[in-house]
Amino acid sequence: GQQLNQSPQSMFIQEGEDVSMNCTSSSIFNTWLWYKQDPGEGPVLLIALYKAGELTSNGRLTAQFGITRKDSFLNISASIPSDVGIYFCAGCWNSGNTPLVFGKGTRLSVIA
């Protein structure tokens, strides 16, 4: 099935550092989403983006919907140990409950 290209695959950073990850697609999406998954849990929605060019923040997290509608990035500022986990981007076409297309995830490790 179709997937998004998400990078980097993994990151090791020091506590307090900023983090950036991005996602690209060959297809246009109407909605971009960023999820975080902790071990033993399902993904939890962090940020949803609905409009090309949109920049949205959720606490220390900031995400942008690319103007081409084919990419998105997520920034985490001043990382803390609880930021550890796997971050997924996902895209979908707004049409009722059309399925989400996911990236393969960025595994984030924070060194205290």
Residue 50 in contact with other proteins, rule: CB under 8 A: yes
Distances (CA, A) of 91 to 33, 83, 87: 6, 22, 14
Mask of contacts with other proteins, 25-44, x by CB under 8 A? -----xx--------xxxxx
Q: Which is nearer to other proteins, 41 or 112 (CB)?
A: 41
Among 21, 103, 106, 108, binds other proteins (CB under 8 A): 103
Q: Which is nearer to other proteins, 17 or 38 (CB)?
A: 38
